[in-house]
Amino acid sequence: MSAVLSANLPGNLPNPASDAALAAVRTTVHATAASSFATDLLAALGNQPRSISPKYFYDAPGSALFDRICELPEYYPTRTELGILQSNAAAIAQHLGPQADIVEFGAGSLLKVRVLLEALEAPARYVPLDISGEHLHAACAALRADYPGLRVEPVVADYTQAYALPARLPSAGQRVGFFPGSTLGNFTPAEALLFLQHAAQALRGGALLLGVDLVKDPALLHAAYNDAAGVTAAFNLNLLARANRELGANFVLAHFAHAAFYNAPMQRIEMHLQSRQRQQVGLCGQVFTLEEGETLHTENSYKFTRSGLHALAEQAGFQPGPVWTDAQQHFSLHCLQAPV
Ligand code: AVI
């Protein structure tokens, strides 16, 4: 998960890579991940308005909280997308064809790709890309145990930066990118475009199966990000807890409130951490004053219309294909054809 994309896209286009090139990408990912939280949080606190990438939610406690969010009654995206996949598995498989070479951007719980693997005819390979090597390798071990015949080739990489995919298999069908969960909605529009442009090149001649949340009744959206059990609040506040753990900051969590609301003109949920009082916080030897009511903007979660997503995909070089949705049109799964 990340919202930082490289601006010089042509220089970063992925190519089938040598082992040395892959190793270089992995080393860079690890080195930058450790130092960037402090740098980005310092910059966020010093800026006005204050804003930080949602990628910092996902340390181990944050990832566990996100898994709990996905099970909440109010948080419809996960189960709705899974339902769409299950109900349309045969049609999706027919559209993607036999011996697909599947590339998943992120390796969440691997639950959704299992539905795809079950439905596809003789998938040739599964290549999940994730920034967390530990999580990725554990998930792949579980998958290998359940699909002993499947070639599983994890790549530790930040897929919002330059990444390299393993060379194509001569015997495989089309390369199929899989990006479920509406993670695209956590990018800025410019970052979303860059990600799609990058994916269009990486998947040349293949397709991208993309899950995105749809614009809907703001009351449903509000409930999904303000659950009664307070799990989303804990997820948001974990950013400060993480800064205390990793960076020696002195945030008092009780002095901040979770604030999430739908910004209709921008078609996005915004999450903020709102200062409950005038306070001072220390981070890396610097002291920042927050006035009562001031916020640190921690996440945007964009919602899409079918036509808006198609326009974005076309701008990135994809040709829109079939769209599968649930009966209530809450969520959508798009098949986008990559350029040849
Ligand atoms: C990961 N991402 C798509 C989630 C979303 O809905 O934007 C993250 C999340 N934030 C709060 N609840 C869930």
pLDDT of 110: 78
Under 8 Å between Cβ of 334 and 323: yes
Q: In the structure, what pLDDT confidence band is assigned to residue 9 with cuts at 50, 70 and 90?
A: very low
How far, in Å, from the CA of 300 to the mean position of ligand 1?
Answer: 9
For residue 4, being part of any structural domain is answered with no
Looking up tokens 């995919």 gives 165
pLDDT of 109: 66
236 lines ligand 1 (CB under 6 A): no
**Region 111-132: what's the mean pLDDT?**
93
Two tokens, residue 74: 């109010």
Nearest CA to ligand 1 atom 1: 183
Under 8 Å between Cβ of 207 and 174: yes
Under 8 Å between Cβ of 158 and 136: no
Nearest CA to ligand 1 atom 5: 301
Per 3-state DSSP, the chain is made up of helix, strand and coil in percentages (nearest 5) of 40, 25, 35
For residue 194, being part of any structural domain is answered with yes
For residue 2, being part of any structural domain is answered with no
For residue 276, being part of any structural domain is answered with yes
Select from 117, 113, 171, 111 the least CA-distant residue to 149. Answer: 117
Please, what is the average pLDDT of the chain? 89
Indicate if the pLDDT at residue 16 is higher than 70: no
Under 8 Å between Cβ of 1 and 186: yes
For residue 248, being part of any structural domain is answered with yes
Indicate if the pLDDT at residue 6 is higher than 50: no
How far, in Å, from the CA of 98 to the mean position of ligand 1?
Answer: 32
C-alpha pair distances (Å), 330 with each of 79, 211, 333: 11, 11, 11
Q: In the structure, what pLDDT confidence band is assigned to residue 88 with cuts at 50, 70 and 90?
A: very high
How far, in Å, from the CA of 133 to the mean position of ligand 1?
Answer: 21
- Percent of the chain whose pLDDT exceeds 70: 89
- Percent of the chain whose pLDDT exceeds 90: 80
183 lines ligand 1 (CB under 6 A): yes
**Region 135-164: what's the mean pLDDT?**
89
For residue 124, being part of any structural domain is answered with yes
pLDDT of 45: 98
For residue 35, being part of any structural domain is answered with yes
Nearest CA to ligand 1 atom 7: 301
pLDDT of 334: 98
Predicted confidence (pLDDT) per residue in 43-60, tens digit: 999 999 999 999 999 998
Select from 255, 96, 295 the least CA-distant residue to 178. Answer: 96
Select from 42, 108, 100 the least CA-distant residue to 70. Answer: 108
For residue 125, being part of any structural domain is answered with yes
Q: In the structure, what pLDDT confidence band is assigned to residue 13 with cuts at 50, 70 and 90?
A: very low
- pTM beyond 0.85, yes or no: yes
How far, in Å, from the CA of 224 to the mean position of ligand 1?
Answer: 9
Which range in 9-23, 27-41, 294-308 is most confidently predicted, on average pLDDT?
Answer: 294-308
Nearest CA to ligand 1 atom 6: 301
Which of the listed residues 55, 63, 69 should we mutate to test ligand 1's pocket, taking the one with most ligand atoms within 8 A of CB? Answer: 69
In this structure, of 71-75, 98-102, 153-157, 313-317, the range with the lowest mean pLDDT score is 153-157
How far, in Å, from the CA of 41 to the mean position of ligand 1?
Answer: 20
How far, in Å, from the CA of 68 to the mean position of ligand 1?
Answer: 11
How far, in Å, from the CA of 301 to the mean position of ligand 1?
Answer: 6
Nearest CA to ligand 1 atom 2: 183
Range of the domain at 284: 15-340
116 lines ligand 1 (CB under 6 A): no
Longest dimension (CA), the chain: 63
Which of the listed residues 160, 186, 304 should we mutate to test ligand 1's pocket, taking the one with most ligand atoms within 8 A of CB? Answer: 186
Q: Say how many CA atoms lie within 13 Å of 311 toward its Cβ.
A: 6
Split into its structural domains, the chain has a count of 1
CATH, residue 278:
3.40.50.150
